[in-house]
A and B are shown apart, each in its own frame.
Chain A
Amino acid sequence: MRFKHDEWRKLSEQALEYLRPKVDYADIRFVSRRGQRVSVKNGAVEGVTASSDTGFGVRVLRDGAWGFASSSTPGLEEVLAVADRALGIAKASATVKGERAVLAPVDPVEDAWSSPYKEDPLEVKLEEKLGLLLEAEKLVRKGGEGKVMVAQAGTGARREEKSFASTEGAYIEQEIVECGAGLSAYAVGPGELQRRTYPNADRELSGCYGWEAVKRLDLLGSAERVGREAGQLLEAKPCPSGEKDVILDSTQMVLQIHESCGHPTELDRVFGTEAGYAGTSFLTPEKLGKFRYGSENVTLVADATVPHGLGTFKYDDEGVRAQRTVLVDRGLFTNYMTSRETAQRLGQTSNGTMRADGWNRPPLIRMTNINLEPGDWTLEEMIRDTKDGLLMEINKSWSIDDRRLNFQFGCEVAWEIKDGALGEMIKNPNYTGITPEFWGGCDAVADRKHWKLWGTPNCGKGEPSQIAHVGHGAAPTRFRKVKVGVGR
């Protein structure tokens, strides 16, 4: 355990000492982020940006009502002024108060933690990054044989250092290092635009690790294929309309899990606090432990402890230890993702999913790594066992209703499956369904060898807007009788 930020700790203690007699509860978080984004496009640099962002946020609970204020200006004077601002805001909140907010208990800890990595991605020379990306991007264009209008390669890196201190006595420092890279190709034909990406559409940050992960990606080995398939898609068959068995590759399972399981199991959303923006959830509390969410093949977990996930940490932004929670157990809806306030309303303790997007946002319940547990099929067996279906890869378009029931998702590419064998390439594949009916049709999940943990660095929620980095682990999964080819 090694603390690095003496100044943050000192300011935190002074702020909390000032606030303690005035509040039910308060916490203060300092967050500093350093990042770099590098992208190349069509043989030239598209952009290289180095970013640095630091500040602090004070959250107070007073008379059962919340206030939050934040600032990027350093120093004790500003910290105390912001603490006062948060108090004033909490006082205003109390004029339109509901049930008094009460926090489920948590043992306050003092701890420091860093996510493991080998090669610091922010210290890798820019020349090395540009060299790799430009070479890979060139191969994308080569594979595209003149049909690829836009070829891109990109890499991102971020180091977040943060502290959390509460009036209950917690003090936690965490350092989280993230990295990733990817390729994309856009092919253009008459009235047609087709895209292929590698390893998926989220190019820049995919997990908590260092540059070693980018080396493992083998961008150069996949680049020509990405370009070639983008070009081939221009001439591919359109997606048929009707009912098919669908195998979703793990790249598309990411989105399927994210939208139809992740968001609806956020308990703040269930209690209505996102109703003014993104909506609520069909998984209302009376369904807990009783509702059949999917088939027996479906076990979904929220796991903030899995190594290297983009939703991995040791403590959430309320100082609650990271956990693994089974959300859906063999098809039965068993748990939510919770915070201290929402868990208390169900008579539970928090399972540690409160995270804030930086210093200037209050924490919300956010997905950690929401994973579908592997089954015992191989992909080959699954294909052999499918008479009339489609294998779909990598999300391209997503939309779901405000209770997370009716969804429609589009993918970059599909392949026909006829009588147990892969057939022709299909362009503009999409599918639609109602969440529990769709998961009820899940009859095969591929095994651990096919299982992969992906990063989603762009999960939007809340007002003011917050972007969370979350993870999703999955293997190829089959769903029976799915409506495909909508809107042709």
Chain B
Amino acid sequence: MMMRERVLEVLEKTLRFGAADQTEVVIIGGDTYLTRYATNYIHQNTAESNAEVFVRSVFGKKIGVATTNALDDGSLQGAVRASEDIARVQPDIPDFVSLPSPEDAGGPVGDLVFGRSTAEFSPEDRAAAVGRVTALAARHGFEAAGAFQTGVVRLAVGNSLGVRQYGETTRASLTAIVMGPSGSGYADGLSVEASTIDVDRVAETAVRKCRDAQDPVAVEPGDYEVVLEPAAVADLVGFLGYLGLGALALQEGRSFASGRLGQKVTGEDFTLWDDGSDPAGLPFPFDFEGVRRRKVVLIESGVVKNVVYDSFTAGREAGRKSTGHALPPMYHYGPLPLNMFVKTGDATLEEMVKGTRRGLLVTRFHYTNPLHPVLTTITGMTRDGTFLIEEGRVKGPVKNLRFTNSILDALSEIEAVSSEARLSEMFGLGAISAPAMKLRKFTFTGATQF
């Protein structure tokens, strides 16, 4: 385990090794533990302790990046030298302006939210929690699978212009898929503080869903009204952010927002923002360039307002500043919103079901992937609890269906939004707070056999 003082010592030392015009050092470290279970027993149980050092060296408009996870002086010097050697032999990158200055970065963020219970969670604590899930599943004759993950994440960023940021936070998550002979149910919990994950609620919800999902019947693919639970909404919104709400995609014309900023792209009931400081999410208030994450309103009442920037994409537009959404230096994807919030409404899930004449209740989606990024068309399957609603009542489980739908089209059909939101992970990098939604129309294009 590498503590704050040691991380900062490595940061300063590595910066001192730098001889480039500008040098940036990012250290991503942590201790993570994951207890994995299936068919009601723990089959894999892991611990990892690691710290990776990323060095970005800049000569004029030439940039090199090198990484190492060996923290002795020789290895750190080697990484600095490698990044400088890489930078020296390159042609200029015309659009590059500068690494962020302390002014751009917005000053140190102070201490982050830290879950003491997560940091102290032991293998026995995780096993005990998993045991409660598997025991409940077994009592109902079902089998449970999932994972309990806890970890401490440390991020330090510094550059030769004077930027310094250090953050230390925690993550805890529990997933549970409970499977019966002909159907399954899902529930999860995600928090900074492991002790706040309601293990029994997760277990009971997944078991109840599984019980309700037995003996599904086939329904024909086609257009349906849908009630999407928060995990399903988060999946759609995650892809919306990934495909179109970063500045690089916008600048390259790959985004649905390219040429449409200020225009209506969804129904008025949809508002989306990114806020890396909001404790209701999984806050991490600075990015991988050390810049404070600003709150950015992405879509307001259906109108796409902004995308998020890092220093490179901001440098390509006159007067633009980074919004604090840079990814680690080796990623070329451009900035992304990783802490998104969907505005809640005033409905309950029960009211949404009650207001549905004939539709489907979807617990979550599986293996969604884009078909057409500009149109935001994606496809995926339903999973772990899909139910037919008729005349305002859940009639029973149905076999899983494939959807193929534009996300923007789906969000233009919002009839109701729940007052409660839940937190879901976003591609393992961030989190999305999303409510449940009732959509007037959603297109299912295929069906599977279970």
Interface residues of A (CB under 8 A from B): 37, 39, 41, 44-55, 65-74, 82, 85-86, 88-93, 95-99, 101, 126-127, 130, 134, 149-150, 186, 188, 191-193, 271-279, 282, 360-362, 396-403, 405-406, 408, 410, 428, 430, 432, 434, 463-465, 486-487
Contacts and interface: CB of A to CB of B under 8 A. Distances in A.
Contacts of B323: none
A173 B37 CA distance: 31
A53 B67 contact: yes
Contact of A186 (B44, B95, B252, B400): B252
A436 to B, nearest CB: 10
B254 A93 contact: no
Contacts of A37: 330
B145 A45 contact: no
Contact of A93 (B42, B69, B70, B175): B42
B37 A96 contact: yes
A399 B402 contact: yes
Interface string B255-287: 000100000000000000000000000000000
Given A95-B128, A397-B371, A49 B67 contact: yes
Nearest to A280: B179
B371 A98 contact: no
Interface in B2-60: 32, 34-52
A61 to B, nearest CB: 11
Contacts of B32: 464
Contacts of B445: 408, 432, 486-487
Nearest to A430: B371
B252 A401 contact: no
Contacts of B176: 276
A209 B371 CA distance: 33
Given A52-B70, A96-B127, A130-B89, A89 B46 contact: yes
Contact of B45 (A39, A54, A90): A90
A340 B127 CA distance: 25
A428 to B, nearest CB: 6
A68 B44 contact: yes
Contacts of B126: 92
Contact of A276 (B46, B70, B124, B175): B175
B394 interface: no
A463 B147 CA distance: 8
A432 B254 CA distance: 26
A141 to B, nearest CB: 13
Contacts of A273: 36, 38-39, 43-44, 145
B142 to A, nearest CB: 12
A70 B65 contact: no
Given A399-B379, A400-B367, 4 more contacts: A47-B330, A50-B79, A130-B89, A272-B39
B319 to A, nearest CB: 23
Contacts of B50: 55, 70-72, 360
Interface in B356-415: 366-375, 377, 379-381, 383, 400, 402, 404-405
B182 interface: no
B240 interface: no
B34 A464 contact: yes
B318 interface: no
Contacts of B370: 397
A93 B402 CA distance: 37
Contact of A54 (B69, B85, B428): B69
Nearest to B175: A276
A410 B371 contact: yes
Contacts of B146: 276
B443 A487 contact: yes
A279 B447 CA distance: 17
A464 to B, nearest CB: 5
Contacts of B400: 401, 406
16 contacts: A49-B65, A50-B86, A53-B69, A70-B49, A95-B128, A96-B127, A96-B131, A150-B254, A188-B258, A276-B36, A402-B366, A402-B383, A408-B445, A463-B34, A486-B379, A487-B443
6 shortest interchain CB distances as A-B pairs: A98-B41, A487-B404, A92-B123, A276-B145, A406-B448, A275-B145
Contacts of A50: 64-67, 79, 82-83, 86
B125 to A, nearest CB: 9
